[in-house]
Amino acid sequence: MKAKFISIMLAAVILLPFATTSCEEEENPENADSLKTQTSNPLVDENGNTAKIDVTVIKYEDTEYPVTDEDGYFVYDENGEIVYDKYEVKKVFSGKTVYMFDDEDVTDKSKALKKVITDIRGTAVFELSEDFFKEDNPAFYFAVYDNDNVIAHGALNIKRGKESAIMIDTKGFTSGALYYYNLVKTYELHSLSEDYKMNVKARGNLMNENFSKVQIQLPENTVSWYFSFNCVEKKENNAALGLFKALLKFFDPTKGLASDAIDQIMQPKGSVDCNVWLEDEYGNRLATKITHLTDGKMEEKQYINGTYYLVFENPFFARGISINLDIVAMTVNK
């Protein structure tokens, strides 16, 4: 495969059920039902953390604002001075130490399990390892200290594999826990077109055009897609490409596919040329036609939404060709 194909064909996307025009296509009854999935539900991230807690500390300040009337003019008192009113403003409390306890008595900071200083957003981030989960949903208690004095506190039940948030203010109120997304992203690998084949007429066949358009539609939450193809004469045996099984060797449900996975896999070589390009759903060509390709394999991370058409063209005047395709998508669950 020519090197320039890799750079230009980065415009392509994953192939779902295929709609072909102006071509002969071999029957493949298993194609529409051949979806395969490889997934897992890990409880820890790559650093061994099983939960993450964001503790945000809020403080209140009194601020004065000039009073205005309904027309927007300042209001003056009997002495001709502008009248001010006091408002209580809620702000984040950065630079304070938050201590985490496994008991509701938070008055002795020497007994704390962990401590974190709040950042510029007023948030202290606690990352927990498996050691903190002696119970299924343990409760932890958080106290904000100003020197040796507790100025705010709150409690929270934690779940494995989740990121939790708690807001504590200096008036002693706590806004509960919100489990808002999984700590660990999990990836799934899908086979969308295992051993798909299509025939493309020669240029000299006046009854049909010498190209085949393949509709491309990505699965939801796709983060990358992979496809391989080769081009052979119609009379040759079409060997299976085996892309899905090959990529599985480089797949981890917690990390996805290795960055060089597509480069490491082997596939049957093609024997005759074909031309390839990509179009959008309106028929606009998105990449220059790449000619004289016998086979190819690639990864795409840019075009991961919408509808496209991958076009295979037969450059021969009197010889039909056959295209073999395998397509795999990787999605992420957050």
Q: What is the pLDDT averaged over residues 116-133?
A: 92
Same domain flag for 300 and 321 = yes
Q: What is the pLDDT averaged over residues 317-321?
A: 92
Q: What is the CATH number of the domain that holds 36?
A: 2.60.120.380
Write down how long the chain is.
334
pLDDT at 175 over 80: no
**Which residues, at least 6 apart from 192, have a Cβ–Cβ distance to it below 8 Å?**
14, 15, 16, 34, 35, 219, 327, 328, 329
pLDDT digits 0-9 by tens, 150-165: 999 999 888 888 888 8
Residue 130 DSSP one-character state: G
d(CA 232, CA 88): 76
Q: Rounded to the nearest 5 degrees, what angle is found at the Cα of 265, between the Cα atoms of 32 and 13? A: 45
Same domain flag for 202 and 299 = yes
Same domain flag for 208 and 238 = yes
What type of residue is 299? Answer: E
Using 50, 70 and 90 to split pLDDT, how confident is the model at 46? low
Range of the domain at 218: 3-42+186-333
pLDDT (0 to 100) of residue 97? 95
d(CA 22, CA 62): 75
Q: What is the pLDDT averaged over residues 219-227?
A: 88
Same domain flag for 24 and 84 = no
Helix (H, G, I), strand (E, B) or coil at 276: strand
pLDDT digits 0-9 by tens, 261-272: 999 998 889 999
Q: Rounded to the nearest 5 degrees, what angle is found at the Cα of 306, between the Cα atoms of 300 and 308? A: 70
Same domain flag for 210 and 73 = no
Same domain flag for 160 and 75 = yes
DSSP string, 196-257: EEEEE--TT-TTS-SEEEEEEEPPTTEEEEEEEEEEEETTS------HHHHHHTTEETTTEE
- Mean predicted lDDT score pLDDT of the chain: 80
d(CA 36, CA 30): 12
pLDDT digits 0-9 by tens, 79-103: 888 888 877 777 888 999 999 999 9
By mean pLDDT, which of 25-29, 125-129, 240-244, 269-273 is the weakest?
25-29
Q: What is the CATH number of the domain that holds 72?
A: 2.60.40.1120
